[in-house]
Amino acid sequence: MKIPSSEDNNNFTLLRNLLALAVVFGHFKLLSGTPAPAFPFNLADAAVDSFFVVSGYLITGSYERTRGLAPFYLRRLFRLYPLYACAVLVQTVVMMLLLPGGPFSAPHSTLRYLGFNLFFMNFAQYDIGGVLSGLPNPGINPSLWTLKIEIGFYLIVPVICAAVRQWRGWVLAAIFVASVAYDLVLSHLGHEVAAKQLPGQMQFFVVGMGLWMYGRQLRVHPGIAWAVCFAFLACWTFLSPIPAGVRPCVVGAFVYCFAVCLPASRLQFDMSYDIYLVHGPLIQTLLVLGLFSDSLAGLTGVVVAVLMIACVAERFVERPGNEFGRTLSARVGRRPARVVSSVA
C-alpha cells in the first residue's frame, strides 16, 4: 500500500512492518505452547503496545487533515474493514474444512461465528464447533482482539481532539491517569483480560496523540535515538513486565525515536496489517494438521508463507479498499479542514 505523503519522511512504514513481524515471531512460539519465549520471540506484547502508540499518533494526524467526520470515518472504515471481513470469511472456510464431521456439520456454530466476528466481537466465539479446542490457544486468530479496541479509539478521537482544543494537554493527562488507574485496579482484582480492553489501552493511544500534538518539533540526535531503541529492547527482555503507567512512556519513547528521529527509510510499501491478520490462522491451521515445526526451518517457512499471502492480500483486498475509501471520502468531504495542530 502506498503511504500518504505526510508519512514519506519518517520510518512509520518500516516500523509497522517490523512490529508485525515481531508479532509473527512471538506467536510462532506462544501459539505452539511456549509460555515465556526468549529474545527475539518475546516482543509480541511490545509490538502490540507500539501499534497502539503509532495509531494514536497517525490517526490524530489523519483526523486533523480530514474534512469532516463522515470522510474521516469512511476512510477508517475502508482502511480496516475489507481485509478484516475477508480474513474472517477465509478463517470460517478453513475451520469448516477442519471439522471432523464435515464442512456443514456445525451450521449453528458457523453462523454464530460469522455473526459475532464480522462485527468485531471475536470474544463471543473464537472458533467453530470446538475444532481448535485442543490447541494451547483455542482461537483461529488471536490477533483480532486488538481491532475492536482500534475501532473504539477511532470513535472517540474527535471527542478527545475537541476537548484538547478547549482544555489543551490537561485532557490527555487526565485520560492517561484514568486509564492507568483502570488497568491497575482491574489487574489487582484478577481481571487481566478486562484490564487490556479500551479504557486500559487508552494510556498508549494518548501517548501517541500527545506526541503528534506536542512532540513533532522535538528532535533527538540519531545516536541517542539508536540508544533509546536498543534500551527499549533490553528493558523488554530483562525488566519485563514494565509497570502500567511507565510502560506506555517507554513504548512512546521507542516509537518516536525510531519513527521520527532516525534517518528516514522512505519505505512506502506497508504490509503490516496484512501480516498481522494472516499469520495467526496459518500457524493455528498448521498446528491442527500436525504440520507445525518449532525449528528454524519451520519459522522460515511460516514467515515466507505469511509474506506471500500478505502480498496477495495487500494487492487485491487492502489496496482497493483503501483507494475506494479515499475516493469516497474526497467526494463526501466539502468543508474546510479543521486545524488542531496549533496546540503543538
Grid coordinates representing 278? 494472516
Q: What is the DSSP letter of 342?
A: G
pLDDT the model gives residue 206: 97
**Alpha-carbon torsion (103, 108, 109, 112), positive or negative:** positive
| Per-residue CA distances from 252 to 45, 50, 169, 200, 261 (Å) | 14, 7, 16, 16, 13
pLDDT the model gives residue 334: 60
Q: How far is CA 202 from the centre of its chain?
A: 13
**How close are the terminal C-alpha atoms of the chain, in Å?**
29
The Cα 87–Cα 110 span in angstroms is 15
Q: Which helix (H) or strand (E) holds 281?
A: helix 272-289
The Cα 301–Cα 311 span in angstroms is 15
What is the residue-wise DSSP string for 196-224? TSHHHHHHHHHHHHHHHHHSTT----HHH
pLDDT the model gives residue 96: 96
What is the residue-wise DSSP string for 10-69? SSHHHHHHHHHHHHHHHHHHHTTT-SSPPTTSS-HHHHHHHHHHHHHHHHHHHHHHSSSH
| Sites in the chain below the pLDDT cut of 70 | 1-8, 334-344
Q: Do residues 282 and 305 make contact, with C-beta atoms less than 8 angstroms apart?
A: yes
Q: C-alpha angle 40/137/19, rounded to 5°?
A: 35
The Cα 41–Cα 25 span in angstroms is 5
Q: What is the DSSP letter of 9?
A: T
2: three-class secondary structure by DSSP: strand
pLDDT the model gives residue 341: 46
pLDDT the model gives residue 121: 92
180: three-class secondary structure by DSSP: helix
pLDDT the model gives residue 239: 82
Buried b (16+ CB within 10 A) or exposed e, 217-234: eeebeeeebeebbeebee
Q: Which residue has the cell 473464537?
A: 126
What is the residue-wise DSSP string for 90-134? HHHHHHHHH-TT-TTS-HHHHHHHHHHHTTT-GGG-SSSTTTTTT
Q: Do residues 70 and 336 make contact, with C-beta atoms less than 8 angstroms apart?
A: no
